[in-house]
């Protein structure tokens, strides 16, 4: 019964994969790719969180240096050689995403994470800190009170309780944009649209659909990129981009692929997988050893010793091996039926698929993650 239940679970998982990989249907252009340059940009920064209830970094050198810089900006100079105890402050890294077309004065969310020995950021406030882009320029300034979803409590005997992650917090609208990123939307002669996944057939279908509505607009540059010649007027260009994003496309069918997660044993097979003629025989050999030691007592007045006599019982059981025959071009449904009949476990399934691949019967790419 255990093996049958496992086989059923494998079958259910594969059936779910079958429904999740149905033949391609119409999708909007905006779901298949995006315009080049119209994207978010990552920002990072270094800052100090103050106001912590004794859960800070204490005497870390880089925190002390940072506090000297902060106090210097306020006109307060710490005496040389003084190492203040900063258990109410913590050094943090600040991260944020700058959306496309973000303008100075707009606000964005930031995430604040400790980089030292601070135990919790709950109740802290971030001091004004710059957020820097990949080019080294300052694009936003962050400051505000943290919202921390975690909680950490420790006792004097060393015991502690931690709920979620108390060393990471967020500040909603915690940064003000100071510099805009040029996306090339207004001044570029040609706008480029990129597929999320390279596919020449899908790119061709997108090009043809765009040119049916806007003749001579789209040209394929490679398997990912389409070059679009649009009017230079921002208002007209924005309207045409919106219309292009809403065009329905039937993308190409995904390549035949089998995904194997080596850590969890999860196997996903898409609907494009086909099998050449093949036969699979699957069986298990189980060896069971039962130990039943017996205590042997000597006869009275025999001067013998009490001993333990080992009794071992060995049973060998080989499960009946069924044979599944795949006809040419067997589909995913046939694979599921055969694997259910064989009653395979996830680990057995991986071994079977690898054997089919080596035998040349599995017409698919195997990806192990």
Closest CA to 296 of 309, 284, 310, 287: 309
Same domain, 17 and 75: no
Same domain, 148 and 53: yes
* Residue where one domain finishes, among candidates 130, 159, 177: 177
Same domain, 239 and 307: no
* pLDDT recorded at residue 260: 78
Q: For 26, phi and psi rounded to 5 degrees? A: -65, 130
| Greater pLDDT, 328 or 127 | 127
Mean pLDDT score across all residues of the chain: 75
pLDDT category of residue 132 using cuts at 50, 70 and 90: very high
**Residue 320 near residue 284, CB atoms below 8 Å:** no
* pLDDT recorded at residue 141: 94
How many structural domains are present in the chain?
Answer: 3
Same domain, 159 and 193: no
- In this predicted model, what pLDDT tens digit does every residue of 28-65 receive, in sequence order? 888 888 888 888 899 999 888 888 888 877 665 656 66
Same domain, 340 and 270: yes
| Greater pLDDT, 7 or 99 | 99
Instruction: Evaluate if pTM is beyond 0.85.
Output: no
Same domain, 46 and 164: yes
Other Cβ atoms closer than 10 A to 172: 11
- In this predicted model, what pLDDT tens digit does every residue of 205-246 receive, in sequence order? 999 999 998 888 889 998 889 998 888 788 888 888 888 889
Same domain, 355 and 260: yes
């Amino acid at each position: 019964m255990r093996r049958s239940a496992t086989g059923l679970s494998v079958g259910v998982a594969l059936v779910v994969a079958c429904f999740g990989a149905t033949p391609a249907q119409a999708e909007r252009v905006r779901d298949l790719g995006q315009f080049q340059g119209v994207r978010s940009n990552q920002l990072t920064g270094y800052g100090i969180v103050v106001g912590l209830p004794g859960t800070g970094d204490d005497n870390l050198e880089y925190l002390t240096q940072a506090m000297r810089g902060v106090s210097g900006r306020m006109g307060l100079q710490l005496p040389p050689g003084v190492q203040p105890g900063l258990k109410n402050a913590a050094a943090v890294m600040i991260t944020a995403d700058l959306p496309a077309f973000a303008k100075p004065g707009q606000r964005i969310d930031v995430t604040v994470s400790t980089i030292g020995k601070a135990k919790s950021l709950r109740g802290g406030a971030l001091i004004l800190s710059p957020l820097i882009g990949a080019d080294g320029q300052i694009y936003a300034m962050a400051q505000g009170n943290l919202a921390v979803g975690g909680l950490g409590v420790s006792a004097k005997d060393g015991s502690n309780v931690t709920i979620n992650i108390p060393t990471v917090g967020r500040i909603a609208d915690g940064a003000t944009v100071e510099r805009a990123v040029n996306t090339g939307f207004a001044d570029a002669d040609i706008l480029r649209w990129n597929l999320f996944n390279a596919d020449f057939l899908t790119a061709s279908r997108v090009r043809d659909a765009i040119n049916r509505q806007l003749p001579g607009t789209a040209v394929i540059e490679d398997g990912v990129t389409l070059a679009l010649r649009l009017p230079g007027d921002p208002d007209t260009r924005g309207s045409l981009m919106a219309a292009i994003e809403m065009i329905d496309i039937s993308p190409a069918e995904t390549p035949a692929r089998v995904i194997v997660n080596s850590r969890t044993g999860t196997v996903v097979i898409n609907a494009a997988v086909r099998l050449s003629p093949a036969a699979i025989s699957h069986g298990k050999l189980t060896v069971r050893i039962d130990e039943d030691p017996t205590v042997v007592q000597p006869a009275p007045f025999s001067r013998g010793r009490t001993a333990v006599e080992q009794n071992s019982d060995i049973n060998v059981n080989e499960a009946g091996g069924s044979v599944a025959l795949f006809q040419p071009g067997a589909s995913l449904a046939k694979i599921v039926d055969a694997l259910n009949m064989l009653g395979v476990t996830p680990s057995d399934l991986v071994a079977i698929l690898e054997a089919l691949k080596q035998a040349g019967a599995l017409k698919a790419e195997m990806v192990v993650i």
